[in-house]
């Protein structure tokens, strides 16, 4: 049920995109402690500007039912930023990450919710 959604202005080849999707999925599963079979990753191209400067930036939104806290979020931020710098060349200071803890009743799946 964790969802990591990445928006960036960096173009990637299909192979590079698949590799990054897999890496982000593995990071989320390992750090949050949930099975990777429950992780969804979305990568969307976007026009971006940060600090009044266009380009070379990323916005990440990570949603999960539980598993997020100050320590976990710091570790996720460190690992996600490192992955984005390696894969895309986006420096960590050009990445924003939003962590959202979702109530079980507010997450739908398979015609129901997790409540």
List b or e across 74-107, with b for residues whose CB sees 16 or more CB atoms inside 10 angstroms.
Answer: eebbebbbebbbebbebeeebbebebeebeeeee
**Cβ neighbours, 10 Å, residue 48:** 18
Classify residue 32 as exposed, middle or buried by CB count within 10 Å of its CB (0-12, 13-18, 19+). Answer: buried
CA dist 49 and 10 (Å) reads 12
- Given the residues 2, 35, 45, 91, the one annotated as active site: 2
Q: Is 2 a catalytic residue?
A: yes
Catalytic center residues: 2
């Amino acid at each position: 049920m964790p969802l990591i959604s990445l928006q960036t202005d960096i173009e990637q080849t299909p192979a590079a995109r698949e590799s990054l999707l897999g890496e982000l999925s593995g990071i989320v599963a390992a750090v949050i402690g949930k099975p990777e079979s429950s992780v969804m990753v979305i990568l969307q191209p976007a026009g971006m500007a940060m600090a009044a400067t266009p380009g070379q930036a990323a916005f990440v939104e990570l949603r999960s039912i539980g598993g997020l806290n100050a320590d976990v979020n710091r570790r996720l931020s460190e690992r996600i930023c490192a992955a984005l710098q390696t894969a895309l060349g986006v420096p960590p200071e050009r990445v924003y990450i939003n962590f959202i803890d979702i109530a079980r009743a507010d997450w739908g799946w398979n015609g129901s919710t997790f409540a």
